[in-house]
Structure 1
Amino acid sequence: MRSARPALLVLALLTTLTFGLLSPTAAQAAGSTSKVSVLTFNVCGHAAGCGSWTKRENAVVKRIVDAKADVVAVQETWGVLSRLERRLAPYGYAKVADSGNEGMFAKTSKLSPVTVPTTNTSCELVTFFLDPSVDTSMWERRLPQTDDAGNTWYWSSKKGWTRSSEVCTDSIVQAPKVGQTVIAPGGRAGAAWAMLKVKKTGKTYLFVSAHLSTGKNGAAGKRNKEAARLLAVTATAAEGRPRVFAGDFNSSIQRGKDTVGKRFEKAGFSDAYTKTKKRKGTKYNTATGYGKKPAAGGSHIDRVMLPRGAAATRWEVLVKVRGGKAVKPVPSDHAPVRVSTVLP
């Protein structure tokens, strides 16, 4: 009878390749999707006309907390981002990206930062003592003296001849994969991003908080160039992972000449607004202003852009209105936009 050992070895090898290298968890993740809710909010932390931040901070924090989003992208945060970080921490949010004027928070129970090996250099000032074997009989103690190696020594009645020098050492540490860029040289447009892992599925995505230039007429062409740069820079940072863009694009489907939206469409992205029929607050502009009534022209310049294969199950402008009037205090001249997404 021929031995069955070769057949068993082949079976064992196939089993190892199928299950050993691809665990059940990994196999599940390979065919799964990630449900992630995203909030984008221009908080108007410092711009002219925004008024006192201290009078609005509680309202901003409450609007974010009440939204219960997994990822929160904020813009116009210069000078207030650290305050938001402290205020949101008790609610389970951690700051994961920061360009100064754009930032991002993530729910730590749902997502975690992806880390990469990074060289960390640490330096300290070290005091060296002169070797007693060195002949210092000709050295004048009241002046610095130089030895044959070019080192300068100083005399101390308590320590003798000493010198101080900065010594630096390198070590490899794990650091979050984050980044930022100015997408309009000389302007205010910029972005911050972070690579985040969805704990339930193990899948990773690059989430981006962006703010493009404001203005009408010729500004549309400027924003088109900014969008192109934003897409190019983040494509390199994403390293093939899906990207989700959230922010104040100052361009909307409803405004007609939506150069930014068209640029994103060419790159394979879709406005979450178009991916679902479950919408709320659509009549309101996302730039609502501080008037007695929120602006209601239906212009949505604060957007969430989704990659190919992604879906949206709900889209909503979070505006608080009572009796047709804005509930005071109005947190910002923009309203948050919340989207429930299903990512590939």
Structure 2
Amino acid sequence: MRSALGGLAAALLLLVAAQPATASTTPAQVGLVSFTRASLSGDSATLTLDWGDTARARSYQIFMSRSYSMSSPKVLSSTSSTRTVTGLVRGVSYFFQVRAVNGGAVGSKSSRVGHTTIRSQGAGGGSTYRVMTYNLCSEKCSGWATTRKAPALARIAAFKPDVVALQEAGRLALSPPTGYGQAAYKSAKMLWFNGNRFKVAMTTCPAGDASCMPALRSGWIALGGTRYAVWAELVDLDTEKSTVFVSVHTTPGKSDEAALLRRDETLVLVRALAKLNPEQRPVVYAGDFNSHKNRSNDYLAGVFHSRGYYDAFDLAMSLRRQHHNSYNDFSVRPVISYKWGDHVDHVWVRPGDGKVLSWQNGASIVDGRMVTPIPSDHSPVVVDVRLN
């Protein structure tokens, strides 16, 4: 009797094993895959991916390709919902998909996401500065004085930036928060600086020239039409080292005509800064550039690249909310772009000038929804950069 029962049990086990995967065993689809960290050592780069724990997953497969079509992918594995991928080529874009595995059952692949590895870094042994760029839409968008001004200033206060590059901020002119100074203003663009970290540099006069009057090293640049940028050379109070910061707002629009205007405005900007900065001090460009790398006509990026400047987004060692677009359109549900994260607000730096420690979208988000009242149709972008 025992032998017969044993044979029956074995048969049942074989029958169960032969059954196809069911809804009770097939893992769910992996959700949004994010890049949380990046590193560079010599010519070898890494990217760290993270995603939410997936129902019925016992392990995960990570598909990696240098093509958005995911052709010829390399397949990696992980027993947790994170994976650091090593041995990558610096300055190269990689694309990933992740799917959950439960024995012989696999879930659907996640949406494709991409990121560019860090191309190069300076020694980064100097001071660390937190830079925020923030388009406030204080005049064109309704509700500034009644509902949006206070939460906008609260976002700035929450991050305690050392330098704030503001655009469409005309209704805040000459009224920086306590502890901050205003270094430059023109046509609703302005630069604020932390008075405990910086002072505005002064011009020097030739020896013996009694008629020379020192002036602040700050001002504005006409980019063409009604477009302007403001700049200031700020001196670190501790190290006495100078850095030039810029706030800019280029022409809006998705058309090729608008993209060409942005390219020309950026050309004017970088050429003007080259003349204003003959000592070649580090320059940090921040602002609403109305363009991103997912557009085929992102021509202004080529202007920066030709002069050795790259988006801090692609140089950052730590990333947060990179798929949440910096332009939020006052949407309570965050606007997400899977391929890159479509950010029109940028901070451009020269990799050789230091290290970008972190990049983050500074929106206030709780339980997957924007906290209301939403301060602006743009979310602040916050970058920590450590200069040489």
Structure 2 length-normalised TM: 0.63
Q: Distance in 2 between matches of 1:65 and 1:292?
A: 22
- Pair 1:37 & 2:130 matched: yes
Partner of 2:233: 195
Q: Distance in 1 between matches of 2:138 and 2:311?
A: 26
- Verify the 8 A CA contact 1:227 1:263 in the aligned structure 2: yes
Q: Give the CA RMSD over aligned residues.
A: 2.1
Q: Deviations over 1:130-167 (max 9, x none)?
A: xxxxxxxxxxxxxxxxxxxxxxxxxxxxxxxxxxxxxx
Partner of 1:77: 169
- Verify the 8 A CA contact 2:132 2:382 in the aligned structure 1: yes
1:223 pairs with one of 247, 262, 278: 262
1:290 pairs with one of 330, 350, 361: 330
Distance 1:115 1:285, change over 3 A: same
1:68 pairs with one of 160, 171, 178: 160
Q: Distance in 2 between matches of 1:324 and 1:242?
A: 37
- Pair 1:248 & 2:288 matched: yes
Q: Distance in 2 between matches of 1:182 and 1:50?
A: 28
- The amino acid that maps onto 1:211 is H
Structure 1 length-normalised TM: 0.70
- Verify the 8 A CA contact 1:101 1:190 in the aligned structure 2: no
User: Helix, strand or coil: the match of 1:196?
Assistant: strand
Deviation, 1:198, is 1.6
- The amino acid that maps onto 2:259 is A
Q: What is the 5 A alignment of 1:175-186?
A: 175-185=215-225
2:272 pairs with one of 220, 233, 245: 233
Partner of 1:128: none
Question: Which runs of 5 or more structure 2 residues have no equivalent in the other structure?
Answer: 1-123
- Pair 1:57 & 2:149 matched: yes
- The amino acid that maps onto 1:42 is N
Q: Distance in 1 between matches of 2:301 and 2:355?
A: 17
Q: Distance in 2 between matches of 1:268 and 1:52?
A: 38
- Pair 1:106 & 2:193 matched: yes
Partner of 1:313: 357
1:214 pairs with one of 227, 246, 252: 252
Question: Which runs of 5 or more structure 1 residues have no equivalent in the other structure?
Answer: 1-30, 119-169
Deviation, 1:93, is 0.9
- Verify the 8 A CA contact 1:317 1:337 in the aligned structure 2: yes
Partner of 1:137: none
- Verify the 8 A CA contact 1:314 1:341 in the aligned structure 2: yes
- Verify the 8 A CA contact 1:313 1:341 in the aligned structure 2: yes
- The amino acid that maps onto 2:199 is S
- The amino acid that maps onto 1:225 is D
- Pair 1:205 & 2:297 matched: no
Bigger Cα displacement from structure 2, 60-69 vs 199-208: 199-208
Deviation, 1:40, is 0.4
- Verify the 8 A CA contact 2:315 2:351 in the aligned structure 1: no
Question: Higher relative contact order at CA 8 Å, sep ≥6: structure 1 or structure 2?
Answer: 1
2:346 pairs with one of 297, 303, 306: 303
Aligned identity (percent) is: 30
1:330 pairs with one of 374, 382, 387: 374
Deviation, 1:171, is 6.1
Partner of 2:321: 281
Deviation, 1:182, is 2.2
Partner of 1:46: 139
Q: Distance in 2 between matches of 1:287 and 1:321?
A: 14
Deviation, 1:234, is 1.3
- The amino acid that maps onto 1:279 is L
Q: Distance in 1 between matches of 2:304 and 2:335?
A: 26
- The amino acid that maps onto 1:36 is Y
Deviation, 1:292, is 2.1
- Verify the 8 A CA contact 1:81 1:100 in the aligned structure 2: no
Q: Distance in 1 between matches of 2:293 and 2:241?
A: 30
Deviation, 1:227, is 0.6
